[in-house]
Amino acid sequence: MAGGQADISGIAERYASALFALALEGKAVGKIQKDLDAFAGMIDQSDELQRLISSPVFSANEQADAIAALASKAKITGLTANFLGLVANNRRLFAVQGMIKAFRNLVADHRGEVTADVTSATALTAAQVKSLNTVLNSAVGKKVQIARHVDPAILGGMIVKVGSRMIDTTLRTKLDNLKIAMKEVG
């Protein structure tokens, strides 16, 4: 399975790099990022769209037609719409979320920023995000963009990933560690 993930990552990075180069050339990085963020939001909110992009049952034409309709409805035009259509026609929609993430990383790198993936049990308030951003900016020494995720399974606390570093202060991890410690004692 690790090989499959590496393949998806390689595909995602190649497509994202090509899109980023075109975006820089056309001075449209901000617009494309906004369009891709809108599309990523659509994926996150729709089980049907997740099924469309991940299922091999749909033909390339069916996927391309559906993506074109969604892009039109979301007012995603130009290079981004063409890119999503190309991805669908090439049967690479299964990697589109990785492409969006890789594109975001390229944009952040270009701007001298770093992205922190933050997973919490509940949605963070604006004050919590601001406070976390201040702490991360200070710790990393660069401008940090926060990508927020919610996972109720962690019970409380948060997981912060910046580059190859990860800090896990979740209640679930603390309980797991306590359970292991109790087994060693007993």
138, HSE (Cβ side, Cα atoms, 13 Å): 6
The predicted pLDDT at position 182 comes to 86
Kindly report the backbone phi and psi dihedral angles of residue 76, in degrees, each rounded to the nearest multiple of 5, phi listed first.
-90, 115
Q: How far apart are CA 104 and CA 164, in angstroms?
A: 17
For the question of whether the overall pTM of this predicted structure is more than 0.75, the answer is: no
Residue with tokens 């049990």: 121
| Residue with more model confidence, 185 or 79 | 79
Q: Give the tens place of pLDDT for each residue, 7-23.
A: 667 889 999 999 999 99
Q: Give the tens place of pLDDT for each residue, 65-77.
A: 999 999 999 899 8
